[in-house]
Structure 1
Amino acid sequence: MLKLHLTKHLFAGTLAFSLAAMTASAAQATVQAIGATLPDILSNEKVMKDKFLPDYSFAGYANSEKAPSTQDFTVINVADHGIFANDGLDDSQALLTLLDKLRESDEPTVLQFSKGRYIISSIIYFDRNNLVVRGEGSGVSGTEFYFPRPLIYTEAPELKELKEYLVSLNKIQKEKKNNIYLPFTEWAWSGGYFWTRIKDLRVKKYLDKYDVPIRTLATPNKGKQGEFILTVDTSDKLKVGEIIELQWYNTKGENAPIINELYHGLVDNVGSHHWRFANLALARQQSEIVAINGNQVELKTPLLHNIHEGMEVNLAPWEHLSNIGFEHFTMTFPFAERIAHHVEQGFNGIYLTRLYNGWVDDVKITNADSGILTEEVANISITDVVTDGEKFAHYSVQMGAVHNVLVENLHVKNKVEHPLSFNTFATKSVYLRSSIDIDPVLDQHSGVNQQNLFDMISVNVTLDENRQYPLFAGGGASYWKPSHAAYNTFWNINVRFQNGHASAQSVLLNGMKDGPKARVISVNGNLPVHVEYGPDAYIEGTNWVYPEAESLFEYQLKKRLSQE
């Protein structure tokens, strides 16, 4: 199974991508890169020692060591429970009734839908383990879920706190020239019609008044970034095989150790949310305990950050679901004109929360405000997703408050505000072999997103007369700035310029001034490019593709699995 899974990563589309990129860019290769098969950051011992590069190979379902399987799942044909395609009736209540019956057990179950259209107008919650929604494909003869109205017409008590937060901060979208002065909606970056959740568990912390005492299993006091061992005060409450969450807090203000750990003193625009909420962890890592030796604990995945005296780190229990999957169907929304940024009505597809080892595969989403949104999930694989339609969307597949999530073969065909986006608290996650057709941005959305990877991304760019393009622009509110923390990585970014070929002058790709210590490797295109990125970015191999490591994720995964 390991070999099959790795083979899928290594060869699916790699050859076509690499040949196109190398043909376009080899002539402009830098002197340093000519003939190189690996960049220095993977082959030069001095550079490797001086320039920390995160190991991204743990992203995905089961840390990408095996693919999801439903071989032993019981298959339930939903037609046997009164849920029929193409009958013109709303299927929401019948589906909710079926899920109520299944909630009494965690028996592995596939809900099999037939080809044709099903109509859904209520939020469908998935709040038990080992449950898969499967259609008969995402093509024209497959399964379609049609959502005739937006989420503003549904009830979602889970977002009550978010609504209060938006009011308390007076979050208003102001666009005078467009006659827009409207309050943010709770659906702009949250919620979805297919929603994984643990009932009554807080989705995300926004307001102090809803805080409960922080739960503690142990207090870590020593650990090195990138290694697997940490020392704790006591391991009495810990168990091998348990999924825990490491949490890095800040109650010490602007000069706290975690602030330097994140930004290395390289930026001067660290926003107030980094110290305003004492009970809000600035960095989180969900991982399995694989061994305990006295007060030393070995984790399945490498430490996100250093742990040392003076840092405020907690090892906590982490409540989650597991083995929930969505596969082989289309989600369609009626076209609705975009009103404005942040005031979306909630044409949102899938919302993944509190899920560990889950997946989405072979899903097409049309005319959504946001195709797939995430919050508090880890070890998720999202593969072969297409977003399209005439709707100007907010997100395609967004990653927020995630750890070790892999989005692979995402094709963004529609116009999207943030087509690929690492959002607040996203860590060690990967967009792999994905493409953006219209107005691409590799968005890093403030909110302490850190150590994330854009890998083998292909984008279409139309140049203006300035012969530059802000590919690396970052969004987000000022109180969560800067745009990202240290070690976000770009690897083999292929830019297909749609114009500008009358000149051999290089194109400037820029847009990021407040993202410290990025790793920017192998940005290339069908015109020569120059990259500006700061501060203190490590840039290597511009206008070159390294044949032994076209994908950093796959290179690291192959190396790790060969050593196990």
Structure 2
Amino acid sequence: MTRPAPLAAVLLVALTSSAAAQEAWTPEILSDAVQDEHYLPDFSYAGYRWGEEPLPERFDGHAVLDAAAYGAVPDDGDDDTASLRAAFAAAHDTDGPVLVRLPAGRLVLTDILYIERSDFVLQGAGGGADGTTLYMPAPLGALPTPAPMAELEEYLVSNDKRQRERDRGIDEPYSLYSWSGGYIWTNTPGGRGKPYLARYDREPATLATGLSGARGTHVVTAEGGADVAPGQIIQVNWFNREGPDGSLLDYLYAGRAGDLAIGERHWESPDMPLTRQEVTVLAVDGDRVTIKEPLLHDLRPAWTPTLTAWEPITEVGIEGIRFEFLYDEYNVHHVEPGNNAVYLTNTAHSWVRDVDVVNGDSGILTDVCSNVTIEDVGVYGRTYHYGVHMGDCYNVLARDVYVAAPVVHTFTFNTGSRMCVYTHSTATDGPVLDQHSGLNYQNLFDDLVLYLDDPEHGPITGGGASYWKPSHAAYPVLWNVRFEFLYPEPLYSGGGAVAVEGLDDGPAARIVGLRANRPITLSYGPDAYVEGLNRPEIAVPSLYEYQLRRRLAHEAADRSTP
């Protein structure tokens, strides 16, 4: 659906766009010569089916289960949870692809509905006000604690995670639902939402050790043999067993680890992967494994890389639904009661589409996912913690997101996010570009517009705890991001530029085409590459789309070559 811009923003854009058009310019960093010196990640593999296929529109091969046939009656004010749970149970018992269809109107939901199988589409009649509304009158925190939350609950207690704000007299334990959980929750049966504590680790099936390979290539040599098969989705794991001065840390922070305050989470669990990558096996020839996605990092003996099994659910779709919560003022950060719509975990090659969220704490949360597309999402109402959240994920794509509510972390790359993308999206109410510590890196803010109405508000932020600092590792990219300042130019500025503060502890950022409706200056952390500041008319408005088109053209040419 089309999301309207605020009237003030429309008038401002009309005024600022009346200036004479300038000649389009092509960023130099797109050239091979400049990339040899300034590495630019390839984001073209993000999203459902690596962006190579559109999201499914027809479901002719799916068994269709109408929730109405299981007793769900819209607009009668009664609780529809039992009927919806029965429809979901039938879907899990159905062989082959299945679609659960929700009727138009308002349905009342008072408990979590789990999707724990592949080839499952939950489809409403549309995410607008005249489509399907799921109304949740109580937050998740009012329900019994679900089993998948036991590990997080123990983690929060054992680490004494509390929100302490002396000036407000606040000293309260963190909520389970500040960054996790949702009324619609995808997961593997019995799966962990996200790993937190080593004692809950179940030894994954190790498929290969003794690996070698180079960043950006598609070949892994498994010197000890590889028990993998074409079509399999597996994980590549990198470990830091060298402590606070580990060579992997210096690599991830582009040679700047010694200059930055690195938090202890980077070395305190040496038997857990410090970072990983979910990849699809294309071919196996002896010890040579060809993968679909380019390697994120070199595979070096010091980092003891492994290949392990991963079995996510796939081809899950959630679409055409408006999630609405009882209005309640947002009060305490990290103590949110759990008005969360969708939580995606252990899910790959899936999507959320045509979804609105009203008065939530969080709209769409993600953890341990890969190649998910989140598309055409609106966030409305009172203050949120997260609108669309990129958590511990790889290759997640969010596009056409419209945020018209105050959100603490508007467009956010959270702990562990890798190669994730926000593109072609807009935020209108005090928005920020947030990089949230916890070894998030090589993520892309792309073709975004942020409307800013407070001169004290900084649009680039870095959240997260000190034990996961710095704010990000190497090679995040801001591409064609526009700030629209809605407030009058302050008299004390003397007509000067607006100072935009970046992240002083984030290394090797790539910032191209950052501009505003008045001149800006930018400061950013070590070794930032900045090109086209204050320069309009960029010839490549979306890096993601440019890289995708280029990759697909090269692959088509390779296939046609004898």
**TM-score, structure 2 length as denominator?**
0.92
Alpha carbons 1:235, 1:292 under 8 Å: kept: no
Deviates more, 1:497-506 or 1:218-227: 497-506
Q: How far, CA to CA, are the matches of 1:336 and 1:368 in structure 2?
A: 9
Q: 1:491 aligns with which of 479, 492, 495?
A: 479
The residue number in structure 2 matching 1:314 is: 306
* Alignment-mate amino acid for residue 193 of structure 1: Y
The residue number in structure 2 matching 1:62 is: 49
Please state whether the residue corresponding to 1:287 is helix, strand or coil.
strand
- CA drift of 1:406 comes to 0.4
- CA drift of 1:545 comes to 3.8
The residue number in structure 2 matching 1:117 is: 106
Please state whether the residue corresponding to 1:56 is helix, strand or coil.
coil
- CA drift of 1:341 comes to 0.4
What aligned pairs does 1:488-527 form with structure 2 within 5 A after superposition? 488-501=476-489, 504-527=495-518
The residue number in structure 2 matching 1:291 is: 283
The residue number in structure 2 matching 1:76 is: 65
- CA drift of 1:549 comes to 0.9
Give per-residue Cα distances to partners, 1:523-550, cap 9 Å, x unaligned. Answer: 0111111111111110001112454311
Q: Does 1:360 align with 2:352?
A: yes
Q: How far, CA to CA, are the matches of 1:174 and 1:373 in structure 2?
A: 24
Q: Does 1:180 align with 2:141?
A: no
The residue number in structure 1 matching 2:75 is: 86
Structure-2 change in CA distance of 1:348 and 1:190 (3 Å) = same
The residue number in structure 1 matching 2:234 is: 244
The residue number in structure 2 matching 1:396 is: 387
Please state whether the residue corresponding to 2:43 is helix, strand or coil.
coil
Q: How far, CA to CA, are the matches of 2:413 and 2:65 in structure 1?
A: 36
- CA drift of 1:25 comes to 8.4
- CA drift of 1:26 comes to 11
Q: Does 1:215 align with 2:205?
A: yes
Q: Does 1:146 align with 2:135?
A: yes
Alpha carbons 1:415, 1:439 under 8 Å: kept: yes
Q: 1:278 aligns with which of 267, 270, 281?
A: 270
The residue number in structure 2 matching 1:132 is: 121
* Alignment-mate amino acid for residue 537 of structure 1: A
Q: 2:525 aligns with which of 509, 531, 534?
A: 534
Structure-2 change in CA distance of 1:330 and 1:263 (3 Å) = same
Give per-residue Cα distances to partners, 1:278-336, cap 9 Å, x unaligned. Answer: 23222111111112222221111111111123122111110210111111110000011
Unaligned runs of 5+ in 2: 556-562
- CA drift of 1:152 comes to 1.0
The residue number in structure 2 matching 1:560 is: 551
- CA drift of 1:342 comes to 0.4
- CA drift of 1:98 comes to 2.1
Please state whether the residue corresponding to 1:337 is helix, strand or coil.
coil
Structure-2 change in CA distance of 1:146 and 1:469 (3 Å) = closer
Q: How far, CA to CA, are the matches of 2:374 and 2:544 in structure 1?
A: 15
The residue number in structure 2 matching 1:6 is: none
Alpha carbons 1:469, 1:509 under 8 Å: kept: no
The residue number in structure 1 matching 2:559 is: none
Alpha carbons 1:469, 1:508 under 8 Å: kept: no
Alpha carbons 2:396, 2:419 under 8 Å: kept: yes
Q: Does 1:431 align with 2:422?
A: yes
Q: How far, CA to CA, are the matches of 2:449 and 2:271 in structure 1?
A: 39
Q: How far, CA to CA, are the matches of 1:308 and 1:236 in structure 2?
A: 17
- Matched positions, count: 539
- CA drift of 1:68 comes to 2.5
- CA drift of 1:171 comes to 0.9
Alpha carbons 1:146, 1:333 under 8 Å: kept: yes
Structure-2 change in CA distance of 1:471 and 1:352 (3 Å) = same
CA RMSD, 1 decimal: 2.2
Alpha carbons 1:482, 1:515 under 8 Å: kept: yes
Please state whether the residue corresponding to 1:55 is helix, strand or coil.
coil
What aligned pairs does 1:371-382 form with structure 2 within 5 A after superposition? 371-382=363-374
Q: How far, CA to CA, are the matches of 1:144 and 1:102 in structure 2?
A: 21
Structure-2 change in CA distance of 1:21 and 1:499 (3 Å) = closer
Q: How far, CA to CA, are the matches of 1:440 and 1:562 in structure 2?
A: 36
Alpha carbons 2:427, 2:451 under 8 Å: kept: yes
* Alignment-mate amino acid for residue 217 of structure 2: E
Q: How far, CA to CA, are the matches of 1:100 and 1:329 in structure 2?
A: 20
Alpha carbons 1:37, 1:547 under 8 Å: kept: yes
Alpha carbons 1:25, 1:527 under 8 Å: kept: no
- CA drift of 1:101 comes to 2.2
- CA drift of 1:167 comes to 0.9
Q: How far, CA to CA, are the matches of 1:27 and 1:263 in structure 2?
A: 41
Alpha carbons 1:25, 1:524 under 8 Å: kept: no
The residue number in structure 1 matching 2:156 is: 166
Please state whether the residue corresponding to 2:117 is helix, strand or coil.
coil
Unaligned runs of 5+ in 1: 1-12
Q: Does 1:190 align with 2:190?
A: no
Q: 2:341 aligns with which of 333, 349, 361?
A: 349
* Alignment-mate amino acid for residue 533 of structure 2: T
Give per-residue Cα distances to partners, 1:69-122, cap 9 Å, x unaligned. Answer: 234223222111211211221111121122222212342121111110000000
Q: 1:416 aligns with which of 407, 422, 434?
A: 407
Give per-residue Cα distances to partners, 1:347-406, cap 9 Å, x unaligned. Answer: 00000001111100010000000001111010100001001102x210001011111000
Q: How far, CA to CA, are the matches of 1:445 and 1:27 in structure 2?
A: 37
Q: 1:41 aligns with which of 12, 15, 29?
A: 29
Please state whether the residue corresponding to 1:315 is helix, strand or coil.
strand
Q: How far, CA to CA, are the matches of 1:258 and 1:26 in structure 2?
A: 50
Q: How far, CA to CA, are the matches of 2:265 and 2:115 in structure 1?
A: 32
Structure-2 change in CA distance of 1:513 and 1:25 (3 Å) = farther
Q: How far, CA to CA, are the matches of 1:254 and 1:315 in structure 2?
A: 24
Give per-residue Cα distances to partners, 1:214-271, cap 9 Å, x unaligned. Answer: 4310125221112211211244411111110111111221122211121133242110
Please state whether the residue corresponding to 1:99 is helix, strand or coil.
helix
Structure-2 change in CA distance of 1:551 and 1:345 (3 Å) = same
Misfit runs of 4+, over 4 Å: 20-29
* Alignment-mate amino acid for residue 251 of structure 2: E
Please state whether the residue corresponding to 1:276 is helix, strand or coil.
coil
Alpha carbons 1:504, 1:528 under 8 Å: kept: no
The residue number in structure 1 matching 2:558 is: none
